[in-house]
Amino acid sequence: MRVAAQIEIAAPPELVWAFVTDPTRTLHFMSGVTRWEIASPGNDRGLGARYRVLMRVGSAEVGGLVETVEFAEPYDMAWTSVTGVDQRGRWRLRHNGPSRTRVELRLSYGIAGAGIAGWIAERVAAPSVRDNLRRSVLELRRQVEHEQARARAAARRAAARAS
């Protein structure tokens, strides 16, 4: 089952990229995610970085160990599961005009071999997962744009002091 959420953020991709690839920030904007821990000592981001990831869906926290399999700065970061529920996720960032970024968060999930119950469970869980992704990109936009406004204000204050 594949779900996705999209949003446009008034900030350059580089700034959005700094947020989505920083594992210490993930829990601050990812809705429903209860764990995003670095599981690859010495490699906290980039190709091969591993994380223990859990998302609350229904009555369980579902996830497992994931590994970053694509890291094309500042446009694409994809991860896939090593253990736990089968999953593949992707942050897709694209320029959409000056200082604007179109952000898409995709997540495919399932359990191979689970049969009809797996098929049903994937669909029953979809609204909850989709809602988590939608809330996540909304919160990401809020945080990125807030960070950008704060940086601009700091720059203005610095300029005023210099003059």
Partner 1 sequence: MSGTQTAGPEAHNGHRRDAFGGAGEPLGGPGQHTPGLAGRVMHAVAGQVRGRVPVADLDERDPDYIRESLPRLWLLASLWFRGEVRGLGNIPDEGPVLLVGNHSGGNISPDTGVFTLAFSTYFGVERRFYQLAHNLVLSMPFLGFLRKYGTVAASPENAEQALDSGAALLVYPGGDHEVHRPSWEGNTVNFAGRRGFVRLALEHDVPIVPVVSIGGQETALFLSRGERLSRLLGLDRLLRLKVLPISVAAPWGLNVGDMLGHIPLPAKITIEVLPAIHLREQFGPEPDVDEVYDHVLETMQETLDALASERRLPILG
Q: How far apart are CA 137 and CA 97, in angstroms?
A: 19
Please state the closest distance from residue 83 (CB atom) to partner 1, in A. Answer: 5
> Residue 40: which of 71, 61, 3 has the closest Cα?
71
Q: Which residues sit opposite 54 in a β-bridge?
A: 35, 63
Residue 73 C-beta: closest distance to partner 1, Å: 30
Give 11 or 57: the residue with its C-beta nearer to partner 1.
57
Our CB check for partner 1 shows the closer of 18 and 65 to be 65
Q: Which one, 43 or 83, has the nearer CB to partner 1?
A: 83
The position carrying tokens 């995709």 is 106
CB of 124 to partner 1, least distance (A): 7
Q: Binding residues for partner 1, per CB under 8 A?
A: 54, 58-65, 83-85, 111, 113-115, 117-118, 120-122, 124-125
Q: Report the DSSP beta bridge partners of residue 107.
A: 3, 89
H or E element: which one contains 161?
A: helix 115-162
Token pair belonging to 13:
């991709």
Nearer to partner 1, 125 or 133 (CB): 125
**Tokens standing for residue 68:** 């970053």
